[in-house]
Amino acid sequence: MFVVIEMVDTVRTPPWQFQQKLNDAIAEQLNKKLANKVVYNVGLCICLYDITKLEDSFIFPGDGASHTKVHFRYVVFRPFLDEILVGKIKGCSQEGVYVMTLSRSGFGNMKQKKELTTSTWTRARTSDSEWWTRLSSTPPPAAPSPPKPALTKRKRPPTLS
């Protein structure tokens, strides 16, 4: 689920950060640039793990900032194929089931579309509520009760590629 990825980037350090240590200024710029962003074929970047190598810094004409090529490792949220994520049911509707995932880590909501649930789930409703129930080989109980708010649900995320 969470992995450490090695990356290389050229970081621009503005002149007002020259008073800081180079590692601290670069770490701040990397977190500002990558934290809470989704990088294609990498995943959701969380935070800087460490800086492994700093190459020479350059100052280009017309720009007072220094540009440094940096090799670093970053913590990334990248679910594996068929990995099961745990979340809480937030609600359900005709379109699908809404799940709040990884609430401790600060991640948001996920929607499981109706098309992905119809093989094992069916929608049931009464006059004042509706809910999803799992299909099984045994007959369902006469009157299933709707799920209580904040029930735990496990689901596989859609593929990344």
Question: Quick one: pLDDT band at residue 32, thresholds 50, 70, 90?
Answer: very high
Q: What residue type is assigned to position 91 of the chain?
A: G
Rounded to the nearest 10°, the torsion over CA 21, 57, 8, 33 is 60
Question: Quick one: pLDDT band at residue 8, thresholds 50, 70, 90?
Answer: very high
Whether this prediction's pTM lies above 0.85 is answered by: no
Interatomic CA distance for residues 125 and 44, integer angstroms:
37
Structure tokens at 115: 């098309």
Question: Quick one: pLDDT band at residue 104, thresholds 50, 70, 90?
Answer: very low
